[in-house]
Amino acid sequence: MGIIFFFKKEFLLLRNSEFFHQVSLLATGSLAAQIIVISSSPVITRIFSPDALGVVAFFTSIVGLLAIISIMSYPTAIVLPRSDKQALRLIVLSILLATIFSIIFLLIYIVYGERVLGLFEVSKIKSYVYLIPIAIIGSAFSSVTSQWMIRRNLFLIISKIAVITALTTSALKIVIGYFYPEPTVLIYISTMGLFFSTALFLHYSPLKVSSFLTKKIATRCLIKLFLTAKIFKDFCIYRTPQNLINIINHSMPIFLLSILFGMTNSGYYSLSFAVMSVPITVISGSVYQVIYPKINSLHKKNINISPFLYKTTLWLAIVGVIPLAIIMWFGQEIFTFIFGEQWGGAGVYAQWMSIALFFHYVSRPVIAAIPVIGIQKELLIWELIDFMIKVCTSYIVYLYTNNDVLMVASFSIVSVINTSFLTLYVYIYSKKLIR
- Give the separation between CA 204 and CA 104, rounded to whole angstroms: 33
Q: Is 434 helix (H, G, I), strand (E, B) or coil?
A: coil
274-298 pLDDT, tens digit per residue, is 677 766 666 666 666 677 777 777 7
335-348 pLDDT, tens digit per residue, is 777 766 666 777 78
| Higher-confidence position of 126 and 356 | 356
* 6 pLDDT more than 50: no
- Supply φ then ψ for residue 300, to 5 degrees: -65, -30
- Give the separation between CA 87 and CA 208, rounded to whole angstroms: 14
Query: Which strand (E) or helix (H) includes residue 380?
Result: helix 376-400
Fill in the amino acid letter for 238. Y
- Give the separation between CA 237 and CA 366, rounded to whole angstroms: 20
pLDDT bucket at 427, cuts 50 / 70 / 90: confident
pTM of the model: 0.65
49-71 pLDDT, tens digit per residue, is 656 665 676 677 778 888 888 98
pLDDT at residue 99, as a whole number:
92
